[in-house]
């Protein structure tokens, strides 16, 4: 079965996300959700992160090329807050402006990444 996305092992989750396992299932299977946004690798720049509405995952392209999701939020504003948190953590780790590299390095240091 095709997956529309995979998830970061240490997934960032907004406070307003209710049933996380249901939200993840819907994202993985391309099911619609009104107010869900994801933080994922930017489609045009693989070394950057972007905030995308979950409707983007319904595109047939992602069935063959699953998007890697680093965070899930219940609104665009909440996604911005998560991205700011990731940025602050990257700065504290000495990787300012290198958010995706910081996240990938963080998982590598703490064990191999797993898809959910």
Number of domains in the chain: 1
| pLDDT tens digits along 37-92 | 999 988 777 778 999 999 988 888 888 889 899 999 999 999 999 999 999 999 99
Tokens of 64: 């063959």
- Does residue 113 carry a pLDDT above 70? no
Reduced 3-state DSSP string for 56-94 = HHHCCHHHHCCEEEEEEECCHHHHHHHHHHHHHHHHHCC
Residue 38 structural domain: 5-109
State the Cα–Cα distance between residues 43 and 23, nearest whole angstrom. 21
Q: What pLDDT sits at residue 14?
A: 96
- Does residue 114 carry a pLDDT above 80? no
116 part of a folded domain: no
41 part of a folded domain: yes
Q: What pLDDT sits at residue 42?
A: 84
- Does residue 98 carry a pLDDT above 50? yes
115 part of a folded domain: no
12 part of a folded domain: yes
User: Whole-structure pTM over 0.75, yes or no?
Assistant: yes
30 part of a folded domain: yes
Calculate mean pLDDT across residues 25-29. Answer: 91
């Amino acid at each position: 079965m095709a997956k529309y996305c995979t998830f970061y092992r240490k997934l960032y989750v907004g406070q307003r996300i209710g049933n996380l396992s249901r939200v993840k299932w819907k994202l993985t299977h391309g099911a619609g959700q009104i107010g869900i946004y994801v933080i994922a690798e930017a489609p045009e720049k693989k070394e950057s992160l972007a905030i995308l509405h979950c409707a983007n995952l319904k595109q047939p392209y992602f069935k063959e090329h699953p998007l890697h999701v680093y965070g899930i939020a219940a609104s665009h504003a909440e996604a911005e807050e998560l991205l700011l948190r990731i940025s602050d953590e990257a700065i504290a780790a000495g990787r300012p402006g290198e958010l995706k590299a910081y996240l990938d390095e963080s998982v590598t240091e703490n064990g191999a990444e797993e898809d959910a």
